């Protein structure tokens, strides 16, 4: 393996150190990088006549993306963390104490331990560009900047560093320059190395005006208090270790000398790395990366069928949502079919949502241009012959689906991919209705489609791998995050949700207050509690699903029977408009023998309900990778990202071993 840091001493006495972690797309602080850094520092310290040094990345689009998260997530002992973080600190302190000035020449990602390295240099110059992002995003992965970031950044730019660190904001070069993180900015077509050398010469000559204001931290107690309130607001009261320990490091460290502050930061970092939340968040980071590009999930070497025309059957709740995502994320013409009365209301709805996005400047094109790509029909017109993919989102009745597929089959090409958005009818049971069962699969969206990233791509018994790959490609085109599973009642997400809901209802039937059950789950980190979720989606939806699955649920039966389908749906449900429980619903709750449960008991009970299903999905090979389940539950149900998904969390809290003798991961 080649050297990571290469020093060239130029005739002028300027040293140029190019770094490149060979074989990796991104530079990160790997073991090789540290030993390379040690070597190059030794070289610098022993080479005569070097007046100053420029650090520049050898990668085309990346300065240094920080610590290696895979390595960090595998650390199990405090001593190991101390060793690793000690290496960062001693390396960067050595750089600061070098006696000659240094300049970080930045292009591409300069994040986390990459920025902390740049902060230890005398000056920083950055080249503008799409990939140049500068920041300390560690709090987003359950860690915090522990290699000097919590001490050096506030000392450089003041209290503004608090928000950047606590929110993990990544800034474009110009913004980082404006905030004083970067001293010099050059345009995207500039010559970074020469500009960095010129900047270094200015520093050596004492001519560079470096803004290094003496920061006043006398108000730090009240700033820290406000920051704490801000964190708790964002986490709905949950004290997540990463931002809390980051804040503690800044609050305590900035009252002391840099050296003392760095020691405080180090101690807190040891604590944060060992938390379950750090391991959970890092898992979320990786499974997100795995599904960020659906095309990368296709069979290796597969070339997807070109998609030039799309059709959607059904212009109801789901059809509208799917069309919104096709129009805003692709240039594809879309044909929608529904009964004549459904067309104009559907179109008006799509326009309303797109207009709202345009107002928030979230669209790349005018709404009229997007709407121009939508055509509507009530008949199977010739245009269906042109479609490469048809998404079916008609009524959830097998008779309707049979008729629709029968008619559709007469007017599409044989190579057309057909996918159903059914939520409960097995794909395999509909396969006989379609022209080519191997080109038929499921693509299950979540409502509202334009807000929910997840789709489940479903493999029926006859679905060809090619069809799955083409559906993954389509998911990528419309910017969804897919998971792949086999046919199964409730697929993955609803299969996991239903037992969870049944347990929640059981707990209220045992006399635990609705508020208490919901609060336990929001404190766990879910966006809403299970009873409120039921009220919001429509109480009849899980009720009908349970009936279909042969499950008796008396409370839902009573509530739906009383015409209470949910506050939004029928004006009455479990809750009143002010958010409190409607007293009228209380007599409808079925009674069981009383059993008071603690908050932890409720959380654990609902988690176990999910884990048992997850285990069954794996055993029956409904999914072939546990990570698919965690992606589904994080992006389909809002499971807290800091817990890494239900299956990962079960591993982290020891539940998997207790229940099944081994971990899922």
Rounded CA-CA distance 280/460 in Å is: 32
Q: Which stretch in 68-76, 280-288, 439-447, 594-602 sits in contact with ligand NAI by CB under 6 A?
A: 439-447
Distance in Å, CB of 446 to ligand NAI, minimum: 6
What residues from 331 to 350 belong to the interface with ligand NAI (CB under 6 A)?
337-339, 342
Residue 91 φ then ψ, to 5°: -65, -45
Q: Does 445 bind ligand NAI (CB under 6 A)?
A: yes
Of residues 111, 120, 164, 404, which one binds ligand NAI by CB under 6 A? Answer: 404
Tell me which residue has its CB nearest to ligand NAI: 316
Q: Report the residue number, 143 or 336, with the smaller CB distance to ligand NAI.
A: 336
What residues from 364 to 403 belong to the interface with ligand NAI (CB under 6 A)?
393-396, 400
Q: Report the residue number, 39 or 317, with the smaller CB distance to ligand NAI.
A: 317
Distance in Å, CB of 565 to ligand NAI, minimum: 13
Rounded CA-CA distance 16/488 in Å is: 59
Rounded CA-CA distance 148/115 in Å is: 10
Residue 654, exposed/middle/buried by CB under 10 A (0-12, 13-18, 19+)? Answer: exposed
Q: Does 451 bind ligand NAI (CB under 6 A)?
A: no
Give me the active site residues, please: 423, 444, 456, 494
Encode 529-552: b = buried (16+ Cβ within 10 Å), e = exposed: bbbbbbbbebbbbbbebbeeeeee
Judge contact between 481 and 455, C-beta under 8 A. yes
Q: Report the residue number, 236 or 479, with the smaller CB distance to ligand NAI.
A: 479
Q: Report the residue number, 395 or 660, with the smaller CB distance to ligand NAI.
A: 395
Tokens of 219: 């108000």
Helix (H, G, I), strand (E, B) or coil at 299: coil
Question: Of 180, 156, 181, whose CA–CA distance to 258 is shortest?
Answer: 156
Distance in Å, CB of 423 to ligand NAI, minimum: 4
What residues from 312 to 331 belong to the interface with ligand NAI (CB under 6 A)?
313-319
Distance in Å, CB of 632 to ligand NAI, minimum: 13
Tokens of 567: 């506050």
- Cα dist. 624→315, 370, 492, 617, 627 in Å? 33, 38, 12, 9, 9
The 477-506 contact track toward ligand NAI, x by CB under 6 A, reads ------------------------------
Q: Report the residue number, 171 or 443, with the smaller CB distance to ligand NAI.
A: 443
Backbone dihedral region for residue 301 (phi beyond 0: left; psi -120 to 50: alpha; all else: beta): left
Judge contact between 145 and 112, C-beta under 8 A. yes
Look-up of token digits 């070098």? 98
What residues from 606 to 635 belong to the interface with ligand NAI (CB under 6 A)?
none
Distance in Å, CB of 551 to ligand NAI, minimum: 18
Rounded CA-CA distance 87/137 in Å is: 20
Q: Report the residue number, 393 or 497, with the smaller CB distance to ligand NAI.
A: 393
- Cα dist. 572→424, 506, 566 in Å? 26, 21, 5
Q: Report the residue number, 313 or 468, with the smaller CB distance to ligand NAI.
A: 313
Question: Of 222, 227, 256, whose CA–CA distance to 244 is shortest?
Answer: 227
Distance in Å, CB of 320 to ligand NAI, minimum: 8
Q: Report the residue number, 183 or 456, with the smaller CB distance to ligand NAI.
A: 456
How many residues sit in the footprint of ligand NAI (CB under 6 A)?
Answer: 23
Name 52's bridge partners. 14
Distance in Å, CB of 345 to ligand NAI, minimum: 9
Residues 6+ apart with CB under 8 A from 493: 446, 454, 456, 632, 633, 636, 637
The 409-438 contact track toward ligand NAI, x by CB under 6 A, reads ------------xxx---------------
Distance in Å, CB of 197 to ligand NAI, minimum: 59
Rounded CA-CA distance 378/342 in Å is: 9
Q: Is the peptide bond before 448 cis (omega within 30 degrees of 0)?
A: yes
Q: Does 453 bind ligand NAI (CB under 6 A)?
A: no
Helix (H, G, I), strand (E, B) or coil at 257: coil
Which residue ranges make up the site for ligand NAI (CB under 6 A)?
Answer: 313-319, 337-339, 342, 393-396, 400, 404, 421-423, 444-445, 447
């Amino acid at each position: 393996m080649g050297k990571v840091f290469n020093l060239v001493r130029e005739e002028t006495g300027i040293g140029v150190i190019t770094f490149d972690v060979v074989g990796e797309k991104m530079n990160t602080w790997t073991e090789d990088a540290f030993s390379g850094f040690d070597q190059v520092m030794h070289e610098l310290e022993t080479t005569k006549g070097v007046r100053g040094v420029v650090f520049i990345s050898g990668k085309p689009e990346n300065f240094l993306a920080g610590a290696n998260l895979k390595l960090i997530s595998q650390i199990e002992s405090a001593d190991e963390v101390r060793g690793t973080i000690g290496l960062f600190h001693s390396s960067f302190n050595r750089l600061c104490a070098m006696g000659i000035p240094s300049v970080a020449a930045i292009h591409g990602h300069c994040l986390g331990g990459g920025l902390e390295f740049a902060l230890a240099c005398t000056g920083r110059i950055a080249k503008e560009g799409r990939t140049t992002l500068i920041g300390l995003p560690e709090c987003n992965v359950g860690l915090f900047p522990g290699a000097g970031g919590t001490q050096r950044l506030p000392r450089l730019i003041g209290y503004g560093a608090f928000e950047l660190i606590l929110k993990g904001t990544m800034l474009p070069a110009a913004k980082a320059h404006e905030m004083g993180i970067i001293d010099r900015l050059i345009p995207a077509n500039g010559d970074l190395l020469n500009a960095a050398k010129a900047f270094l010469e200015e520093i050596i000559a004492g001519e560079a005006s470096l803004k290094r204001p003496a920061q006043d931290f006398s108000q730090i107690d009240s700033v820290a208090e406000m920051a704490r309130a801000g964190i708790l607001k964002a986490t709905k009261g949950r004290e997540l270790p990463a931002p809390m320990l980051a804040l503690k490091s800044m609050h305590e460290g900035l009252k002391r000398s840099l050296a003392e502050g760095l020691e405080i930061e180090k101690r807190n970092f040891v604590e944060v790395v060992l938390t379950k939340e750090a391991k959970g968040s890092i898992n979320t980071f990786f499974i997100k990366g795995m599904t960020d590009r659906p095309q990368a999930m296709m069979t290796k070497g597969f070339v997807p069928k070109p998609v030039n025309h799309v059709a959607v059957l059904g212009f109801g709740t789901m059809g509208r949502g799917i069309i919104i995502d096709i129009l805003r994320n692709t240039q594809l013409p879309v044909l929608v079919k529904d009964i004549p009365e459904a067309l104009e209301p559907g179109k008006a709805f799509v326009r309303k949502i797109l207009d709202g996005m345009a107002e928030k400047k979230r669209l790349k094109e005018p709404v009229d241009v997007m709407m121009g790509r939508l055509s509507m029909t009530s008949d199977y017109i010739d245009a269906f012959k042109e479609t490469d993919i048809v998404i079916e989102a008609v009524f959830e009745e097998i008779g309707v689906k049979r008729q629709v597929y029968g008619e559709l089959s007469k007017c599409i090409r044989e190579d057309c991919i057909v996918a159903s958005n059914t939520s409960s009818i097995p794909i395999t049971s509909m396969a006989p209705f379609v022209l080519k069962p191997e080109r038929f699969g499921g693509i299950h969206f979540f409502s509202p489609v334009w807000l929910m990233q997840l789709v489940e791509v479903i493999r029926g018994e006859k679905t060809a791998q090619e069809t799955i790959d083409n559906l993954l490609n389509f998911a990528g085109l419309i910017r969804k995050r897919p998971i792949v599973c086999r046919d199964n009642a409730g697929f993955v997400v609803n299969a996991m949700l239903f037992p969870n809901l049944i347990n929640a209802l059981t707990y209220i039937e045992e006399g635990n207050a609705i508020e208490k059950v919901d609060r336990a789950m929001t404190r766990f980190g879910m966006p809403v509690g299970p009873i409120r979720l039921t009220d919001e989606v429509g109480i009849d939806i899980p009720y009908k699903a349970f009936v279909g699955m042969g499950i008796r649920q008396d409370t839902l039966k009573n509530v739906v029977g009383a015409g209470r389908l949910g506050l939004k749906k029928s004006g009455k449900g479990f809750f009143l408009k002010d958010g409190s429980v409607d007293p009228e619903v209380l007599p409808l709750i079925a009674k069981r023998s009383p059993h008071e449960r603690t908050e932890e008991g409720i959380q654990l009970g609902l988690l176990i309900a999910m884990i048992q299903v997850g285990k069954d999905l794996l055993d029956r090979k409904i999914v072939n990778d546990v990570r698919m389940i965690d992606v589904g539950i994080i992006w389909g149900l809002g499971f807290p990202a800091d817990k890494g998904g239900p299956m990962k969390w079960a591993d982290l809290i020891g539940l998997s071993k207790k229940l099944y003798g081994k971990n899922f991961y």
